[in-house]
Structure 1
């Protein structure tokens, strides 16, 4: 799968999609794209200021778009469950959770790895996946087109010496997401899964502010956040059986 497919005709009218980590550049692009496609978007982030900016931009993108913002502590399972339950109760359904919570820590070499980095990344990149997947599992199964989408990095399957903590965290998050996909597969029985869990893999992400800061950089192999958002929106158009349990590469597979 590549990020250059034309999803301009995709419609998500009637879908209710939650976005975790909505205030970052990728989150803002995703909220904007989903709202433009007609989805009701329930955005969450710990940064209330940037979250408000993302919500306002998405509302402006489509007249009448329903976009809400919640400050949710995704490291608190009870709070995450409450967010999922509140979303489904308010809008009557939940059709997706897009996980865009990120973070990076690295070291000059493997021997210089600081295990404090692991403690941070384990919370950001693994614990938030565990909590959102457990909280939204039942609601996504009740949907006729539920999607749980994790954004991951190519380094998870080809780690480098200085990225041991980061790559291991991403690999664990991928494994957890694939286990969720297996749960969806089993729940679907002979008819196949109704919901899907999948991983979109990038080398790294780039956005306009990065280009402005480094005008001479080529960002080779990077995925623009708008292309990522386009790919995300298109996954509701594809059958759950085709999406579920897969790594979908937006960069050359390693």
Structure 2
């Protein structure tokens, strides 16, 4: 299981909106779980959430890299970050993580899903369906396990945010990115269904609007400092810096749930549809 989402494909989708993320005020008192926390995007998100005052429960399959994230948080002066090695391909392990998080902290106010990976081919005809088997596990199955595990806890917390990072190519994939685009589209559909569950739960409880929200942040691709160092002449046009992604994640709690629940929120200019 890998961390982060690093798509290379471009595309467009509706409904969607372009987002200029507000600067988050404070996440004091909130508990946020981050799945796939050991990669560059996970590290940036964990540190930003902790800096905003959240208690962050970081999880990843890579114990060593996860330890580096927790150490970085401690070095930055935050004791609000804990790390746990969790195999999110194991449904029971994901549920144990969710149950333990709520039991130990009293509530869980957010889950940021950053488990990712990429596979592609030069042409459509050269697509290897073994790549689909891998991406189905990384991009879809881990999402299913975490969202099902945390669903009830997120509803109980009152103002929860579930966050999926997706790619612009989910509904307009290129020929060589068939498996990646299909897996991302499946992940988006699952997240939209989660948002509908939040909406239905609110109505069943007599609320006109949901207080919990499932949001999809759409990017073209991610970039971080190590990538820039490796390719100093590259433009990375349209790419989203992992720190900007982290700002967008933290800012979701500053927006009313109905503005973000079930929406694709663009962090890069939305491409024109064909």
Contact 1:202 1:251 in 2 (8 A): yes
Please give the alpha-carbon distance, in whole angstroms, between the structure 1 residues aligned to 2:93 and 2:269. 37
- Unmatched segments (≥5 aa) in structure 1: none
Aligned residues: 252
1:192 positional shift? 1.2
Choose from 69, 78, 94 the match for 1:80.
94
Instruction: Say yes or no: does 1:225 pair with 2:242.
Output: yes
1:191 positional shift? 2.4
Please give the alpha-carbon distance, in whole angstroms, between the structure 1 residues aligned to 2:179 and 2:186. 11
1:6 positional shift? 4.7
Contact 2:22 2:254 in 1 (8 A): no
Which structure is higher in RCO with an 8 Å CA cutoff and minimum separation 6?
2
RMSD between aligned residues? 1.2
Instruction: Say yes or no: does 1:26 pair with 2:34.
Output: no
Please give the alpha-carbon distance, in whole angstroms, between the structure 2 residues aligned to 1:183 and 1:226. 30
- Deviates further, 189-198 or 225-234: 189-198
Instruction: Say yes or no: does 1:101 pair with 2:118.
Output: no
- Unmatched segments (≥5 aa) in structure 2: 1-16
Output the TM-score relative to the length of structure 1.
0.97
Q: What residue number does 2:251 align with?
A: 234
Instruction: Say yes or no: does 1:194 pair with 2:211.
Output: yes
1:3 positional shift? 6.2
Output the TM-score relative to the length of structure 2.
0.90
Contact 2:108 2:160 in 1 (8 A): yes
1:234 positional shift? 0.3
Please give the alpha-carbon distance, in whole angstroms, between the structure 2 residues aligned to 1:253 and 1:87. 36
Contact 2:19 2:265 in 1 (8 A): no
